Chains A and B, each alone.
Chain A
Amino acid sequence: DAGVIQSPRHEVTEMGQEVTLRCKPISGHDYLFWYRQTMMRGLELLIYFNNNVPIDDSGMPEDRFSAKMPNASFSTLKIQPSEPRDSAVYFCASSFFGGVRGEAFFGQGTRLTVV
């Protein structure tokens, strides 16, 4: 299995631009998580899906952030418009049975820089 695949690995964009981060979870996993990591705030859970349905988006910082999972093999996290404070590493992770039984496998992350 190729593991969780995220793209792009690096993204540099100008303030105000739309940014779309992509994630392909491990086949067969039923949970998908989006995290944001910064030095100041650590690893924050933004949103997670179960069977393609958003379950908890309370971690999404504001309306500029949105996430979708149109099918079991693809998810996107969109920021529109982007701001410099959105600069962080964004991780996608997937698991089977959520965290109750299974570990979460992480993608390599997208390092976002908003200038």
Chain B
Amino acid sequence: AQSVTQLGSHVSVSEGALVLLRCNYSSSVPPYLFWYVQYPNQGLQLLLKYTSAATLVKGINGFEAEFKKSETSFHLTKPSAHMSDAAEYFCAVTFNFGNEKLTFGTGTRLTIIP
């Protein structure tokens, strides 16, 4: 079965520091990978997606992620954290592009230290 694992349920970084949120997937076929952000009491917003085109994907709010098949990873990064980045981040996977029944990771809560 398809799955994603997010390492670290809580990550804290200082404002202006690098943000790195880890996601590894389990698959025997090419996956389609997504990062979503959830602000308190709000829905999920798509940050970026990998759909087998470029391996380095740029998303909104300065985030990007790199698909590394050899490492089965799709880590999310941002060069400089902003206070407004504080939120819950979910990595998600599907193997059936066009039927976007996503399987989510357990989420990483990002805290920004002033």
Same complex for A and B? Answer no
